[in-house]
């Protein structure tokens, strides 16, 4: 298990290798999706931080705080992280998520997390921010998606 900042840094590195950049919204959604796929495929979390249901989808508040000064501009540099090492299965999930979703805009990624039946949709209550999206709800959703894709 890693930190959201370490996973975000890996996504930023992958984008840089593609001569691309990611906005904070893209990074937030990609880290969330990688966490979901890790739970769904390996039944263990990728990150150890709380995930909350906010208006524009699932948010990891600590990661949001680390990037908010970029606003809607691309994230430049790396985020502070004590652990930038992902194990092989974590790296594989992050790379697959980047390949499948990294080209999408933040708005498009947000739309994916808002679909009917998603953990965000099951948790979000109007304009109230801060309800935790439990890992068991995230795991059930992504395990179901993995089973349908197999």
| Structure-block tokens of residue 51 | 């995930």
What pLDDT digit, counting tens, does each position of 69-90 carry? 999 899 998 888 877 689 999 9
pLDDT of the residue at 56: 82
Residues shown for the chain: 150
State the Cα–Cα distance between residues 34 and 101, nearest whole angstrom: 10
Q: What is the pTM of this model?
A: 0.95
pLDDT of the residue at 83: 72
Residue ranges of E strands in the chain: 52-54, 57-59, 131-132
pLDDT of the residue at 126: 81
């Amino acid at each position: 298990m890693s930190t959201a900042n370490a996973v975000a840094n890996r996504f930023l590195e992958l984008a840089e290798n593609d001569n691309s950049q990611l906005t904070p919204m893209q990074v937030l959604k990609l880290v969330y999706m990688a966490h979901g796929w890790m739970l769904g495929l390996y039944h263990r979390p990728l990150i150890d931080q709380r995930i909350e249901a906010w208006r524009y989808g699932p948010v990891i508040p600590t990661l949001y705080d680390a990037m908010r000064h970029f606003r809607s501009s691309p994230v430049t540099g790396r985020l502070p992280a004590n652990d930038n090492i992902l194990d092989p299965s974590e790296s594989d999930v992050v790379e697959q998520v980047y390949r499948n979703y990294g080209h999408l805009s933040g708005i498009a990624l947000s739309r994916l997390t808002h679909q009917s039946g998603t953990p965000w949709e099951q948790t979000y209550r109007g304009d109230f921010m801060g309800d935790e999206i439990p890992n068991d709800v995230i795991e059930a959703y992504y395990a179901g998606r993995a089973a349908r894709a197999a």
